Amino acid sequence: MAPEVELGRKMDALGLWDELGSGNFAIRPRGSVFPYFCSVLKGDGKPIKLRYLMLEGWQTLHDFLRTRADNSFGFYSSPMEMPHFELVVLETGECKVFRHDVGFMPREIGEKERPLAMKLLWESYGIMMRLETDRRLFMRFADDAAVFSRTEGSDGKWSDAPLAIVQPRPYVEAISFPNDLLKKAADLPFDKDFAISVDFLLNLRLMTKEPQPRCVYELVVMDSATGKVLFSSTTSVDRENGLKGMWESMPVKLLEHIVQLGKVPGAVRTRSQRVFRMIRPLGIELPFRLSFHERLPELEGIR
């Protein structure tokens, strides 16, 4: 049995997941550029009992918290897209530890990552045992506007330490369109009675065929009246532009599809507030009516 699996089972046997997930804390291994922030996400038991996330760095934590508060914030569709280690506990008691990298499919940890993952899990296990008798452990440095952390010193010994809170960077989106493409669209006829439904989403049924497979995202454009798929195209994250750059390029792809279609629709409908926000700059350039709907029957088959 892999050591991380054995440790995961010991953590689960304590039955203190609710207590561990009750506050924010960090683990700072020696030599790591990032602190790791830990969070518990309950599963539905079919088959996942819970996920224990060890999020990499302050910015990831901020994005995680803001996305949890508003699932249309930013560009993350799922915590699986964020950089982190993750202990998955199944309802059967089986455990696995995964590595998540932005834009890539999750994978079980390798030998090079195991020492770091084991440090994170071992300190988490120690915190769980302390929570049995000290439920206010995470509040120890609250008066100093700092997060409770376990920090590894240069001598390899661990200690409790305050971690000063770092504020999130301002979030800005930049969406622009090629002038030649806008000119082509401006010359198209406008069909006020024609409506399209648009979605852009992570398609977990697909992945690239690479040594480290990347996630696949799909842009779907449908005829709102008939439910016919007019266009469907896939893309993946590249290292240069990242996940945010991929989302910012989506409205340009939609504009390309409209030009191929040969007419500007009178209405563009979406069920995603994030997609709505990304398409809105295109609505300034073209005269269609953009609307958000909680449900769009024609898109129900697209998950």
Rounded distance, CA 206 to CA 213, Å? 10
103: left (phi over 0), alpha (psi -120 to 50) or beta: left
Confidence of residue 303 (pLDDT cuts 50, 70, 90): low
- The type of residue at 223 is D
- The type of residue at 247 is W
- The type of residue at 251 is P
Query: pLDDT tens-digit profile of 119-150?
Result: 999 999 999 999 999 999 999 998 888 999 99
157 three-class SS: coil
pLDDT at residue number 1: 82
Q: Which residues pair with 39 in a beta bridge?
A: 53
Confidence of residue 34 (pLDDT cuts 50, 70, 90): very high
Query: pLDDT tens-digit profile of 183-235?
Result: 999 999 999 999 999 999 999 899 999 999 999 999 999 999 999 999 999 99
- The type of residue at 258 is I
Q: Which residues pair with 231 in a beta bridge?
A: 221
Rounded distance, CA 247 to CA 274, Å? 9
- For tokens 């499919």, the residue is 105
Give the helix ranges, DSSP H, for the chain. 3-14, 17-20, 58-69, 114-131, 179-186, 242-261, 273-285
- For tokens 């069920």, the residue is 271
- For tokens 């950089």, the residue is 83
Query: CB neighbours (10 Å) of residue 196?
Result: 23
